[in-house]
Amino acid sequence: MALAAAALTLGACSGIKVQTDYDPAAVPSFQRYKTYAWLPDPTGGDRRVQNEILAARVRGAVDAELASKGYTQATTGTPDFMIGWFVSLDGRMNVSQLNTYYGYGWGPWYGAAYGQTYARYYEEGTLVLDVVDVRSNQLAWRGSAQTEVDRTRPQAEREQLVNTAVKRVLERFPPQY
């Protein structure tokens, strides 16, 4: 049973699309990064996704991932970089058509469209992580993860999805140039 649940969770995570970008002028800064601090949490926005529960999940996942890479959260002094996050939720429509035409030849109905069209509405969530260089106060790196959001998933699966999305995004930080 646990194996089936893990397979479903990982299957849900496999559809995560990750993108990253960085400022080439910031490349020398990446070498000196050792400590970080958090930018203020986003305000306003869509309360379905901008809330304290998701903030704690994102911060916990980012803290764990950055620690595994050797970065430490600054408790005193000036950090080397700041990290911030935000999430958006957008409606999407998937339309597909199933062709049900069978047969061969040049009959009177050849070329006619036989089939059924299926439309499915779903929500796509995007998690964005920003790294701001403290010295220049400029965006140095941005990573994002997009996937379908199913708010009926059990809490453990939603937490795993955030952890996986953060891990996949931060695999590309610092950038390999």
- Per-domain residue ranges for the chain? 2-91+120-170
- Starting at the edge strand found earlier in the chain, the sheet holding 81-99 runs 17-22, 138-149, 115-133, 81-99, 35-38, 72-73
Q: pTM value?
A: 0.77
Query: pLDDT tens digits, the chain, 177 residues: what are they?
Result: 333 333 333 334 459 999 999 999 999 999 999 999 999 987 777 777 778 888 999 999 999 999 999 999 999 999 999 999 999 887 767 777 776 665 555 555 555 556 777 787 778 899 999 999 999 999 999 999 999 988 788 989 989 999 999 999 999 999 987
Contact 13, 159 (CB under 8 A): no
Query: Which CATH topology does 2-91+120-170 take?
Result: Double Stranded RNA Binding Domain (3.30.160)
How do residues 167-177 score in pLDDT, each as one tens digit? 999 999 999 87
